[in-house]
Structure 1
Amino acid sequence: MTFLSAALDRVKPSATIAMTARAAALRAEGRDVIGLAAGEPDFDTPDHIRDAGMAAIRSGRTRYTGVDGMPELKRAIANKFRRDNNLRYDPGEITVGSGGKQVLFNALVATLDPGDEVVIPAPYWTSYPDMVRLAGGTAVMVETRPEQGFRMGADELDAAITDRTKWVILNSPSNPTGAAYGDGDLARLATVLLRHPHVWVLSDDIYEHLLFDDRRFATMAAVEPRLRERTLTVNGVSKAYAMTGWRIGYGGGPETLIRAMAKVQSQSTSNPCSISQWAAVAALDGPQDFIDSSRKAFQRRRDLVVERLGRMHGLTCPRPDGAFYVYPSIEGCLGLTSAEGRAIRTDVEFCEALLEETGVAVVPGAAFGRSPAFRLSYATDEDTLVAACERIGAFCEGLR
């Protein structure tokens, strides 16, 4: 008889965290390591947001708040949804969690029964299928292709839906590919969803403000208002506001769902950190101009990395629409051997050899449901990216 839950057998540890930890271990041994595995902006949290957090501490705003967020933050979130997305949510239709991941997890735990299915386009963020499995559901993967811009089409969605489908997860721009769904893309998916009234939409918009080449952001509940009452629109302050460690995510959706999610949260973490909540109010209600500066910096970095990786032996690197990742194919490297004699049969072996031989940490595509590829985060300065690309290029040239 085992002491541990059988549910743990259904999930895998985060590959991103595992690669980051391996890179940290090598660095602790004195190795020169460039970590491009984690999805974390390298910019500091803006001063006015940090000041709001410190003011909250000094003024004693350190008590419990409402389980799923304080009224002041819910009002700021409602204003943000109205200002940026043309979506109107009352405070009772808004939830706040300790990061976007908790909001997603709460929704799945509150709604899934054994056998319920969740449609997930692949490549996908590593946590989606494992959260579904922990909640007792079944993850149904829909493979997307680079020639489609890694976007799921209406026919593919329709084919994946069954009587047991409860959710479809849309992440735009996407982690790991940076693919973004425009108005037209979402309208075509909405046509399918309107024919299947038992299917809800989980729209993960965390990279909303990181769209390139003058693309306009689109989200399902705004594109098709008839789906508003079965859509949970999830966002957070981590990426756009460089607040990953503050751990504030939020969602807007039907009040019945929001109340159920609050019930889950009341028996797990209770309220998110009060100090972080006040900082998030300052983020959402305060100046927004720095977001555009960050976006332009990420676009320059994208162009640099795509151009350099695209010239490397064995790699093919699609140009992402947004976020801060590239997802190059390594198909041309399979079956070869590294300069130090490591066989490259999979993207996992490619990434392990790359880290051990060059000190560059990236995440294998197997973690995201589509191989052979790897995810590289360009959320770091250009000098570091140039150095990393030089090492990756030398590694690829050394394959025989």
Structure 2
Amino acid sequence: MIERRKTRRIHVGGLAIGGGAPVSVQSMTNTDTADVAATVAQIQRLALAGCELVRVAVPDMDAAQAIKAIRAAITLPLVADIHFDSRLAVAAMEHGAQGIRINPGNLGGPDKLARVVAAARMHGVPIRVGVNSGSIEKEVLKQYGYPTPTHPNALIESALNKVGLLEAEGFSEIKISIKSADPLTTIAGYRQLAQRTDYPLHLGVTEAGGLIPGTVKSSVALGILLFEGIGDTFRISLTRDPVEEIRVGFELLRALHIRQRGPELISCPTCGRTRIDLFSLAEKVEQHLQTMQARIKVAVMGCVVNGPGEAREADIGIAGGHGVGIIFKKGEIFRKVPEAELLSVFLEELDKLEAEKTGRARHGS
């Protein structure tokens, strides 16, 4: 049983973070924030996949002002990501940002930071203090050295120094992130930080890479930390469609038995008996499952000989054969379907099962 680290609680919009609230999964858009239509469309896709908090880049005033229209069109809490320019931070909050991510040390000095804090207090906006290995001050690096798995001190000291700047302004609605591209440095850093503060922590491995390396690095670092009860919200950073980050994030929580969202997919690794394009079939089924809420177990198997028996614990599943596939439930054959129709018929059966389990028919069903 995982025992969560006790932290303060903050709220980003209606989402509670820390203080015993469920670990939340978030992502960041990769659209031009000033392009409201494109940004809203991506956020809506993220929301459908289960995203609970979304961050947008605010590199200029057009982006800051676009937040008002974006907020009006979405349901997710919205965080503005700011670098260097205090005016953008203030403008983002004035236009409806419900959280901001800043590095308090690079906003141009105490007066500008004070203006940002005053705006955050006025609008009820929490601040995420974000420090990466590449953004540590020269003085801190000189004193502690570049962060490594055995000496991550520079990350911790840099973050706590910046938190101190906010506390000096009487501000405490804070969450902290200290990210490294190295999973072991990330683990060591968050372990130390968790012992020195009770602010909620945002976890992540920065610059983790594409789907496979990014998933592996993030799962190693975040999986270990979450298993130890450290972490209140996180992002899986991938050089991919951000929807993929949400998929990986919830699978990580499922594997740790921390949270269960929607269906669980099991599928065989394929072998010489496979006679269908199982890779494509499994991917399309997985994409459909991301839009479902029912807690069911779904199987995609490669052959009709062993598939139903090997996946007998699945609520529903499919297995392919020579020109024909089967749909099975709890290990028993339910229906035989021509291979060309297998996917579409199976998705229809999934939607029926979703309606039975949740009492809600899917849109268009």
- TM class by shorter chain equals under 0.3
| Structure with the greater alpha carbon radius of gyration | 2
**TM-score after normalising by structure 1:** 0.24
* Structure number with higher strand proportion: 2
- Which gives a bigger RCO, structure 1 or 2 (Cα 8 Å, sep 6+)? 1
